[in-house]
Amino acid sequence: MTDPIPYKPAAASCPDEAGTIPPAPKPAWMQRWDQDEFEINQPGLLRVGGALLKAQGQVARDLLHEKAPARYALGCLIVTLLATLAYGAIIGSAAGPGQSLYAALKLPLVVLGSGAICLPSFYVFQCLLGARPSLAQAALGTLLLCAAAGLIVAACAPVVWFFSISIEAGTAAFLVLLHVGVVVAAIGFGIHLLARMHRYVRLYRPHRRLFHGRVLALWVVMYLLVAAQMASFLGPLMDDGEFFRGERRLFLSAFVRALK
C-alpha cells in the first residue's frame, strides 16, 4: 500500500471558545479512501476493475505518484474492451448474430477511439486552467474514465438485454433512448470518479491539481459529441448492415432516423 498522503485539514469557518479555528473534518468517503489498499504490480490485470470498485483511494494515490502507469493503462484497456464488447453484442442482438458481432467490435472503437481523439484537448485544457497533470497522468485519467464507464455499462447489460428480448419489434425508439441513457450515465459516473480523485488529491496537496473540475464538465460534453459522431460514421449499431459505412453526416440525423 502506498503511504497515505499527509493530511493538512482545511480550517472550519467558526472559531471555538478559545478563539482558534478547529480543522474541518474529512468527508466520510475520504476517510474510506484512506483505508483502501491495492497493489497494481501483483498478477492479474483484471484486478484494476476491482480496484475501481473498491480501492479508489489507492488508485488515486498511485495516479498522483505515477506508480506503474503502464500496468494501469493495460488493465483499463482490458476492462474497457471486455465490457464494451459484451454491451455492444447486446446492442446489436435484436438484428441477428451478424449485427451483434459487428456492434461488439464497433463499440470498443467508439469508446476508446473517442478517448484518443479527445486526449490532446483534455491535456491542454487542464494545463491552461492551472492543473498540472503529466501527459501520462492525463492519458491514464482518460483510460480510467473509459474503464469506469465500461463497468457501468457491463452492470446495466442484463437489464438492457432483458428489455431487448421482451418488447415488441416496433419499439426500437425505446431501446435507442435506453442505450443512450445507459451510456450517458456511465460516462457521468466516470467523470464523477475523476472529480473525486481531484478533490482527494487537492485536500492533501492544496497546491497540486491533477484535474480541473470545470474542464472535466466541458470535456465530457466534447467526448460525448465525438463518440456520437464516430458511432454514426462507423455505421449503425442496432440495425442490420455492413460493418463500416463511412457516411458523411451529422450524428443527429442518424439519431432521428433511429427514433422513427
Q: Which pLDDT tens digit goes with each residue over 74-108? A: 999 999 999 999 999 988 887 777 778 888 888 99
Question: Going by C-beta distance under 8 Å and a sequence separation of 6 or more, which residues neighbour residue 74?
Answer: 45
Q: Is the pLDDT reported for residue 57 higher than 50? A: yes
pTM of the model: 0.82
Residue 26, domain member (yes or no): no
Question: Would you say residue 29 lies in a domain?
Answer: no
Mean of the per-residue pLDDT values for the chain?
A: 82
**Residue range 150-173: mean pLDDT, rounded:** 85
- How many other CB atoms are there within 10 angstroms of residue 1's CB atom? 12
Q: Is the pLDDT of residue 9 over 80?
A: no
Q: Is residue 34 part of a domain?
A: no
pLDDT tens digit sequence for 222-252: 999 999 898 888 877 776 666 666 667 777 6
Which DSSP symbol is given to 10? P
Query: Which of 221 and 26 is assigned the larger pLDDT?
Result: 221
String of b and e for 183-214 (b: at least 16 CB within 10 Å)? beebbebbbebbebbbbbbbbbeeeebbbbbe
Question: Which residue is associated with the grid cell 418488447?
Answer: 167
- Whether residue 208 lies inside any domain: the answer is yes
Domain presence at residue 226: yes
pLDDT at 21: 53
The answer on pLDDT for 167 being more than 70 is: yes
pLDDT above 50: residue 12 = no
Q: Is the pLDDT of residue 6 over 60?
A: no
Q: Which domain holds residue 251?
A: 43-259
**Cα–Cα distance between 211 and 198 in angstroms, integer?**
6
Q: Which of 32, 39, 31, 38 lies closest to 7, judged by CA? A: 31
Is residue 32, in this structure, part of any structural domain at all? no
The secondary structure element, H or E, covering residue 92 is helix 69-92
pLDDT reported for residue 133? 86
**Alpha-carbon gap, residue 176 to 21, rounded angstroms:** 54
In this structure, is residue 201 part of a structural domain?
yes
Whether 2 maps to a domain, the answer reads no
Percent of the chain with pLDDT over 70: 82
Calculate the CA 63 to chain-centre distance: 15
Other C-beta atoms lying within 10 Å of the C-beta of residue 114: 23
Neighbouring-strand partners of residue 23? 11
> In the chain, how many domains are there?
1
